[in-house]
Amino acid sequence: MSGPSPASLFCLALGLGLAGLGVARHVGAASSLGDARVTPVVLAVQRAAPAVVNVTTDGGGRGGGSRGSGAGVIVHPEGYIVTNSHVVRGAARVYCSLARAVGGQAYEARVLENDPSHDLALLRIAGGPFPYVSICSTCDVMVGETAIAIGNPYGLGDTVTMGIVSAKGRTATFSSGHTLQGLIQTDASINLGNSGGALLNVDGELIGINSAIHANGQGIAFTVPADDVQRMLDRNLGAAGRPGPPPLVLDVPAPRSPEPMLSTPTPAPRMAPTPRAPATRPARPPVGLSLAAGAAGVTVATITPGSNADIAGLRTGDVIALLDGRSVASPVTLAGTFNGAASGQTYLLTIRRADRTSTLIVVIP
């Protein structure tokens, strides 16, 4: 009888090595029910929502009262924001509030360009770097794909709705008298105050700036395509108007567990029962990794010292080529895999560093 093949000996050695590390029993472990809730839409919102701002304006007339509010989107880390032209029209002052980032701080913004013919305006706030969204070419937008809208309806603060891209190349005439062409139509719920907000794809990329709803139809809204946004940035910033995709921070959420029950000891006579305080849940540490989509592939942008990614041997600049033997399409794909993994699950990462290729084991905390 012939002996074991080299391939089987390799698999046995790999299994024994993982067992020696105390992680073999976790390989291929199924995600918990709570982890399954981390969908691509959730990841897209987590990635892009900090870059959506609330826009308020003060009028220039007698009394200088408030003229209205809307939303805007940071499209460059140096504080460049795109909103609708009609949101800032006639305003003496414009303020942008970062509701989900930088402590909700409000900034006074300068209007750099107001283009009513495309219902777009470019603003800038001082400071930074700020969270921002990358811009997806409208040529890549597909009718029927998922569309995620983030805006500020009725001044309630950042609100997320979802639908699909219903059509491309629509024409609509606005109350300002301008007729816009090449608009994206979506059935994602758009309400008053959503003007200037973001329409995103499931990768968290900007595909348009929400502009108007159809006066006579429900589920019909129009969005200025992202190509018009990019042309505005090119006019004002030149080559600097294309900053590239922002790094994607992988921060695995803590596993969900039932709330601890209050335990009441038997009271002494004539004494009120004293409930015991709930036990404190230990925080689940992050993987400690941020990624960027580079020319060579998915690249490690930062590593948190002492994190599981650091312990695994990952370093800034590494290109992640394979995950468990399968190619890694994008940072969002890898984030979805890690966020959906059970605590203790392990992955084999094949990385390229300079002219060398090696395989590392990363354990989900």
pLDDT of residue 265: 43
Instruction: Please tell me whether residue 230 adopts helix, strand or coil conformation.
Output: helix
For residue 336, pLDDT beyond 60 = yes
Q: What is the mean pLDDT of residues 252-274?
A: 44
Give the dihedral of Cα atoms 42, 158, 139, 41; nearest 10 deg: 10
Nearest CA-CA partner of 123 in 67, 168, 79, 60: 79
Residue 32: C-alpha distances to residues 256, 339, 342, 343 (Å)? 9, 11, 6, 9
Q: What is the mean pLDDT of residues 318-334?
A: 82
Task: List the structure tokens of 249.
Answer: 């921070």
pLDDT of residue 5: 52
Q: Tell which wins on pLDDT, 153 or 351.
A: 351
**44-58 as b/e: b if 16+ CB within 10 A:** bbbbbbbbbbbbbbb
For residue 71, pLDDT beyond 80 = yes
Considering the candidates 69, 134, 195, 290, report the single residue annotated as catalytic. 195
The question of whether 195 is a catalytic residue gets the answer yes
The span from the CA of 28 to the CA of 309, in Å, is 19
The span from the CA of 165 to the CA of 318, in Å, is 36
pLDDT band with cut points at 50, 70 and 90 for residue 113 = very high
Please state the φ and ψ torsions of residue 217, each to the nearest 5 degrees: -145, 140
* Average pLDDT score, the chain: 75
The span from the CA of 289 to the CA of 316, in Å, is 9
The answer to whether the Cα torsion of 111, 204, 296, 361 is positive or negative is positive
pLDDT of residue 164: 93
The question of whether 178 is a catalytic residue gets the answer no
Q: Tell which wins on pLDDT, 128 or 311.
A: 311
Our measurement of the distance from residue 162's CA atom to the centroid of its chain's CA atoms, rounded to an integer in Å, reads: 14
The span from the CA of 364 to the CA of 248, in Å, is 17
Considering the candidates 69, 97, 119, 189, report the single residue annotated as catalytic. 119
Considering the candidates 69, 76, 85, 86, report the single residue annotated as catalytic. 86
Q: Where does the chain have alpha helices with state H?
A: 6-21, 40-48, 85-88, 226-237, 308-312, 331-339
Q: What is the mean pLDDT of residues 351-363?
A: 85
The question of whether 234 is a catalytic residue gets the answer no
pLDDT of residue 360: 84
pLDDT of residue 262: 42
Domains and CATH numbers, the chain: 138-225 (2.40.10.10), 285-365 (2.30.42.10)
pLDDT band with cut points at 50, 70 and 90 for residue 333 = confident
Contact present, 250 and 336 (Cβ < 8 Å): no
Contact present, 38 and 50 (Cβ < 8 Å): no
Highest mean pLDDT among 97-101, 127-131, 213-217, 267-271: 127-131
For residue 64, pLDDT beyond 60 = no
Contact present, 94 and 84 (Cβ < 8 Å): no
pLDDT of residue 225: 94
Q: What is the mean pLDDT of residues 64-81?
A: 82
pLDDT of residue 147: 94
Weakest mean pLDDT among 46-55, 130-139, 189-198: 189-198
The span from the CA of 163 to the CA of 49, in Å, is 17
Contact present, 178 and 213 (Cβ < 8 Å): no
Q: What is the mean pLDDT of residues 269-295?
A: 56
